[in-house]
Amino acid sequence: MPRRSKIIRNTNETKIKLALTIEGKGRYKISTGIRFFDHMLELFTRHGGFDLTLQCSGDLDVDQHHTVEDVGTALGEAFGQALGDKRGILRAGYFLMPMDETLGLAAVDFSGRTLAVVQTKVNVRMVGDLQSELVDDFFDGFARGAKANVHVKTLYGRSNHHKIEALFKAFARAVRFACAKDKQLAKMLPSTKGLL
């Protein structure tokens, strides 16, 4: 059975409606009002092999912060919900993604503990129409929503566009691996604590 979730998250700052299928075909329909951010979420979906429908209406007249962070939180919550009790999953994954002259690294652990470490090396205020500092807030939101450890780092690169894109692609593949079911683990919980 495909693992699916639906999230509706409404605050005074954002209204988000999201549907996720982990075992998808890379299909997406995404609208946040920030086109570069949409593009990053689209390629996250495609490279992860997920299906994602996401509609966010946020207070972009104030700032992009609430939209980007809340989408990260809602997406993390969607993965947490779809993974259920996490029995039989690999739990952790990592990936190195080359993007032309750039190399990005992502690692994720659906550990039940929340922490994000983000190093983009982006040195401009805007990439496309996205405030580049908010990439940190997206991954922080995802970590909180999914109760996961998230580490993303640009190892080197020139293009700021490529630095962010490499991170989202690497993150997609790390998440895909971490969510994968392992026949050897079967219904075992991948933790000695007995709780994730």
pLDDT value at residue 1: 87
Q: Is 52 helix (H, G, I), strand (E, B) or coil?
A: strand
Burial 55-66, CB ≥16 within 10 A → b, else e: ebebbbeeebbb
Residue ranges of the alpha helices (H) in 57-159?
65-83, 134-146
The ranges of the chain with pLDDT < 50 are none
pLDDT value at residue 101: 98
